[in-house]
Homo-oligomer: A and B are copies of this chain.
Amino acid sequence: MAVPSHIRSFGKHTLLYGVSLAALLFLINWLQIRYLFIDHAMDIYIGGIAIIFTALGIWLALKLATPRKETIIVEKEVYLPTPPAPLPANAHFVLNEKLLEKFRISTRELQVLQLMATGLSNQEIATHLFISLNTIKTHSSSLFMKMEVKRRTQAIDKARKLGLIP
């Protein structure tokens, strides 16, 4: 579903990039012929090298890149001093994605919600996500509207009961 669209998108962009690269090389060649009197065949050779290694880079990246992932929150529990007791396996939380769609909650809004639930302030959330405080406010405001709550504590409580956060 989502993958084919990305493949199409990728191919399109790659083609675009290829054309751009060709134009670029042509420009370089032209400039060199005009001003540097470089051997023409050498430039084609260099261009070939460039194209080949660009393709190699793309192939490498696609081969090694992390696969496409869902928005899943994995709750890893870290225990302190507990001598004998076998630990409760409350580890896995499965996100209720239907409700996310129902409330039209976006990825970023969910992230903000999750960080809210850990007790972070808006400023701290902004720092963690490398975005500005104002953006966090925007996200939280729209989140509260979508969830039909008035406060962050209410949003957290409701989200827990709905299975939106652990």
Within 8 A of B (CB), among A60-109: 60-62, 64-83, 85-90, 107
Which A residues, 103 to 122, have Cβ-Cβ distances below 8 Å to chain B?
Answer: 107, 111, 114-121
Copies of this subunit? 2
- 9 tightest Cβ-Cβ pairs between the two chains A and B: A57-B57, A119-B154, A61-B61, A86-B88, A54-B57, A53-B53, A57-B58, A58-B61, A119-B157
A interface residues, Cβ below 8 angstroms from B: 2, 4, 6-7, 9-10, 13-14, 17, 21, 24-25, 28-29, 31-33, 36, 38, 45-46, 49-51, 53-62, 64-83, 85-90, 107, 111, 114-121, 128-130, 149-158, 166
The residues of B that contact A24 with a CB separation of less than 8 Å are 21, 25
